Structure 1
Amino acid sequence: MPPEWAPHQCTWISWPHNRDSWPGKFEPVEPVMARFVGVLSATELVRINVLDAAHEAHVRAHLEGVATAANVRFHHFPTNDAWCRDHGAIFVSRAGADAPLLALDFGFNAWGGKYPPFDRDNAIPPQMAEALGVPCRSIDMILEGGSIEVNGAGALMTTENCLLNPNRNPTMGRDGIEAALKANLGVNHVMWLGDGIVGDDTDGHIDDITRFVAEDTVVTMIEGDAGDENHAPLAENRERLDTLRLADGRPLNVVELSMPRPVCFNGDRLPASHANFYIGNQVVIVPVFNDPVDAPNLARLRDLFPGRDVVGIDCTDVVLGLGAFHCLTQQVPAA
């Protein structure tokens, strides 16, 4: 599996339409998505799953004058929800193969059966593969793309709270899960963190806490307020990062990002995190929350991505759906 910063042939998204995911606050979501597509489509192709022709016309109206039309393609692949990182195909490259790109169709059960129905989401990967003209392999394992991070050099990072949760693959165990990840994603070293952040209904996806930004470098979220409920799990993950080693024995370079102040809706804490950024070919799009730590976190990411524009887009409304830009995207590597 290539790292996210490797060249893409396109980025795939599923346009938001499920109002239950943004109860009472759906209207602000689509303009944010339009801005996201506008920024990304300026430099790479964006493929968008929509429900049907009427939904395509609706989305086109949101994108008119915002996105680069020549870099947008629509697919009438109906979904249950918008989280393409988790229900979309995961793509791996195969050097020397007749088909250098392979789509992996892992099972999807809506984060442990939390949000039925999810049949349409689970059917998306082979449709993506067919549209691209690449082979697709079905794998008897539940896996969401947001639960894994790869460095493109053999290492994969994930969390125990998610991948060892019995609501995903109760019969596999840690050894079985590691073996399946190595066999299907071409990695040779699995690195485990612990728990995710408060409000994350995915049982602790890695893409809200720690992200590879280079072969030996990660950014990780830190909560400095010892009284905040995110402080202890993030501190424990930070300690683990100091002990983890790459397969060749090298330690990780760890860059800390500060958690924003709590973002809440109707008294519920939402999983607001600057780590849920998306790395495009020429841009890094970062969720921001009108918070004092927005600017310093963006500055740190600019230092880490000197060849890309780092753009912050307010996700205060989007995160009510319990995700942000990384959750809403899936990259397709260049063949």
Structure 2
Amino acid sequence: MAKILMKGNEAFGKAAIEAGCRYFFGYPITPQNEVPEYMSKELPKVEGVFVQAESEVAAINMVYGAAGAGARVMTSSSSPGIALKQEGITYAAGAELPCVVLNVMRGGPGLGSIQPSQADYFMSTRGGGNGDYRTPVFAPATVQEAVDMIMEAFEVADFYRTPTMVVADGMIGQMMEPVEFNEPKKRDLQPKDWATIGTKGERKPNIVNSLYLEPEILEQHCLKLEKKYKEIEKNEVQYEMYKTDDAEIVLVAYGTTSRIVKSAIEILREEGIKAGLIRPKTLWPFPFEAFDNIPNAKSLLTVEMSTGQMIEDVQLAIQGKLPVHFHGRPGGMAPSPTEIADKAKTIVEEQLAIGGAR
């Protein structure tokens, strides 16, 4: 298929439809408004249904209902809107209902700003609702990856019967890039014989529920979910290693920030500093294994559009073997390649000074 120029938010919508999504429930909030706008125009053309709900809470519960009937369904919002959806997301996780939730992140906390941010890392990867649950989280760095990851998210959601998230900072939602819509990679999916589609007098009714009043039964359910999450951790990790083979300082970043970091790496290498990048494509499961493959690294620098959240996973990954530094710009500010390179040079110079002192 030939490439076409699309805005990120519209590409999200088209990718969902190409992946078989026929139901969308949402509520407007900047900077993701083009997603519901696109779905409102395009879903009826494929006999799909778009509903602008009265609130984010209503939207996620409509998603719960459609998912419970076995439909491919999606919702999208931006940071404070996703916060409102967290109760419904944990309900869907508890009831094992597949759906896709897109978060086009903006600055926070609270209403914050409408500028791009990455401050929803904790909310996305730790589970913003109650209880023992996790959601797979994809983090695209380009509009093409936005397309590919939305398509894959539907497959992952159905394969594991779980809500699946795609998180993109606002820049990805608003930028325009050439993309192509290839046939999504299909998984061997089981029939949705658990769905509430009516018995037709042929079987007992299916029950979609996340309420378990007997603690022994709930314990078994939670252990079943945990076993599923272990399988996701084992099978669904994705990451990119960029110039890490000889890197003495390894930067860690995701999303748009990783693209800025790549420019900083070119600056550093032109000045003789061997720098590389680990880019998580899945924020959960986090690519801990990638940190076992940086043989020449002497230090790490985590770069985020926040005050520092992914850095905790980086620290867990490296297990104290190397120092972990941080550079962040919160509130909707994006770091520049020059400031990232300057931070990395300072770290390298301090290391050399310590080495010389010894």
Asked if these proteins are the same fold (TM beyond 0.5), I'd say no
Q: TM class by shorter-chain length?
A: under 0.3
Q: TM-score, normalised by structure 1?
A: 0.25
Q: TM-score, normalised by structure 2?
A: 0.24
